[in-house]
């Protein structure tokens, strides 16, 4: 199990570094669109939509790495005041009864959502009309990565509860 946790953590850290680079093309697209619109009075058909797609992919694919490094949003004013063992028990409880069912259901639903998009060859309704199925595939990939990282974190918490550190 320790090898599994280390492998998942390494994979998440590696892919997280690459997914973070999605911010660069997004910056380029925004700058291009602003210059085209404000300087040349010639807005693009694709600029806004491409920005939304890049930001969405950047956000979704960053969820697992945020979970790995414990940088996700949560309210823990009360929890941090509790002893470490109680915190571990709360994390285990919330994984089993909130995280796993919720992220598992979202993973399943997003697989169906992306699969349907691929089956019908879905395209955007905008004037640009890019295909949506590659973008919608990001959702199940991100949710599955988040779920697997959650399992690895859950296993790590079990080891910590037993007094072992991974």
Kindly report, residue by residue over 41-52, the tens digit of the pLDDT.
999 999 999 999
How far apart (Å, rounded) are the C-alpha atoms in residues 26 and 10? 26
Angle of helix 133-161 versus helix 84-94 axis, rounded to 10: 140
* pLDDT confidence band for 20 (50 / 70 / 90): very high
Residue 2, pLDDT > 90, answer: yes
Tokens of 151: 């399992």
How far apart (Å, rounded) are the C-alpha atoms in residues 103 and 95? 10
Residue 76, pLDDT > 90, answer: no
Residue 30, pLDDT > 90, answer: yes
How far apart (Å, rounded) are the C-alpha atoms in residues 77 and 83? 13
pLDDT of residue 73: 84
Q: What's the residue count for the chain?
A: 166
Domain boundaries, the chain: 2-72+79-161
pLDDT of residue 75: 80
pLDDT of residue 106: 98
How far apart (Å, rounded) are the C-alpha atoms in residues 155 and 158? 5
Residues 6+ apart with CB under 8 A from 92: 154, 157, 158, 161
Q: Is the pTM of this model over 0.75?
A: yes
- Furthest-apart CA atoms within the chain: distance in Å: 64
pLDDT of residue 78: 87
**24 versus 74: which is more confidently predicted?**
24
Compute the mean pLDDT over every residue in the chain, rounded to the nearest whole number.
96
pLDDT of residue 18: 97
Phi first, then psi, for residue 131 (nearest 5°) are: -65, 140
**30 versus 76: which is more confidently predicted?**
30
Residue 108: HSE in the Cβ half-sphere, 13 Å Cα cutoff: 6
Residue 131's DSSP bridge partners are 123
pLDDT of residue 69: 97
Of the listed ranges 15-19, 78-82, 152-156, the one predicted with least confidence: 78-82
């Amino acid at each position: 199990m320790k090898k599994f946790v280390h492998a998942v953590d390494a994979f998440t850290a590696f892919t997280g570094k690459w997914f973070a680079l999605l911010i660069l093309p997004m910056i380029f697209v925004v700058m291009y669109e602003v210059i085209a619109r404000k300087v040349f009075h010639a807005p693009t058909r694709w600029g806004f939509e491409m920005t939304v797609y890049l930001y969405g992919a950047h956000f979704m694919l960053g969820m697992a790495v945020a979970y790995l490094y414990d940088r996700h949003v949560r309210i823990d004013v009360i929890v941090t005041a509790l002893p470490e063992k109680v915190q571990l028990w709360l994390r285990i409880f919330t994984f089993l009864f909130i995280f796993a069912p919720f992220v598992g259901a979202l993973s399943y639903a997003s697989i169906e959502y992306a699969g349907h998009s691929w089956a019908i060859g879905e395209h955007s309704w905008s004037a640009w009309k890019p295909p949506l199925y590659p973008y919608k595939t990001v959702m199940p990939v991100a949710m599955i990565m988040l779920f697997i990282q959650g399992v690895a974190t859950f296993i790590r918490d079990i080891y910590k509860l037993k007094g072992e550190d991974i």
